[in-house]
Amino acid sequence: MKRYLIMTASIGSGHIKAAEAIARELRAADAEAIIEVVDFMSRGVSTLHWLLKKIYLLMLAFVPDLYDRCYKFSGGGAIGTLTQDAFALVMYHRMARLIDAFSPDVVICTHPFPEGACSLIKRLSRRRFRLVAVLTDYSLHQIWIYPRVDDYFVAIPAMQQGLIARGFPADAVHVTGIPVDRALLRLPEKRRARELLGLAADAPTVLLMGGGLGLGGIEAMLDELEGIEGRLTLLVIAGRNEDLELAIRARVATSRHALYVWGFTQRATLLMRAADLLVTKPGALTVSEAFALGLPTVLHDPIPGPEEENAVYATQHGASLWVHPGESLAEAVRRLLENPAKQAALSRGARSCARPDAAREIVSMLTDSEDDSNKF
């Protein structure tokens, strides 16, 4: 009976979504396996980790380029390695207690913090387990690169090549895509999705998202979209940003468009299916879900660093439009809604990038490999 410990982090929702997708596929593949998904940055796991997360998110609200600074600071060389070692050391003892309590055969990390702590545990102790990293972006960064990782699962071939160039064996680096919930493939068609949501069947429908934290200047976007004369159906997911949700609800009665808002919701993918167009920050999981649905996207305000790289990837592959600072979001949306041929081209580009079976591929490689945890 195999024991799988899946370590993730609630910094945004993407890392958790990837972990949950893998857990679902593991349960389907091995009904007898013992599987635990742990949010490494939750208060229940560590008050220190939780406080670090809260401080980071608070600072991000006041210093928008904070992530960019951290991303570049930790991006390589001696300083990058020192930063990694510091995080791993801070989180070592809590991770070690989790390992001792669960006794996993395999630890799967969808965030680099627990990955680094696990790498250090394998280095400094006699604990033996297979350490797996599932990278949840479309670019490679030093913060994910640790010794004693037995398998890397990455989104695109360029990331595989980067890891091999850094000395990882080719047979330990697998290009699978980013894990998404395969339930995306079972969603109803667009008209039925709108019916289920109580939306107008034929109105141009635009979904606005800012990730699980409700970031991305959604109120400013709504101000711009009010300038579009034709009546739209606007769907907004505010995530866990309660202030944003309340502010948008206050707009419903006065908007020229049919405006709907949700907080954190399990219906996000149904809302994506109902939309003609998604306007969003380029978080990797959101982009990957849009790829799987063939949903055209308009990307804006990426957090400097990996989100910019995600936007580059999506636009280079003809799956998205990227509205840069100084450009009109409303104009981009209007032109796209008036151009069905362009929408269809973006949809084809998205589908060409889609890897909806990523989680299943990862699980297949893990469960089909030799059952010999001692080699790790």
Q: What is the average pLDDT across 217-234?
A: 92
Of 240-244, 270-274, 367-371, least confident by mean pLDDT is 367-371
Are both 3-180+356-375 and 185-353 of the same fold?
A: yes
Domain ranges of the chain: 3-180+356-375, 185-353
Which range is most confident: 120-134, 237-251, 301-315, 361-375? 120-134
- Summarize pLDDT for 54-96 with one digit per residue, the tens: 666 665 555 555 555 555 555 555 555 677 777 788 889 999 9
- Look at residue 90 in the predicted model and tell me its pLDDT: 84
What pLDDT is attached to residue 211? 56
Q: Point out the least confidently predicted range of 73-77, 208-212, 276-280.
A: 73-77
Record: fold of 3-180+356-375: Rossmann fold (3.40.50)
Q: What is the pLDDT of residues 104-139, one digit of tens each?
A: 999 999 999 999 999 999 999 999 999 999 999 999
Residues 6+ apart with CB under 8 A from 133: 109, 112, 115, 144, 146, 149, 151, 152, 153
3-state secondary structure of 182: helix
User: What is the architecture of the domain spanning 185-353?
Assistant: 3-Layer(aba) Sandwich (3.40)
Q: Where do runs of H (alpha helix) occur along 166-212?
A: 190-197
pLDDT in the model for residue 214: 47
Rounded mean pLDDT of the chain? 89
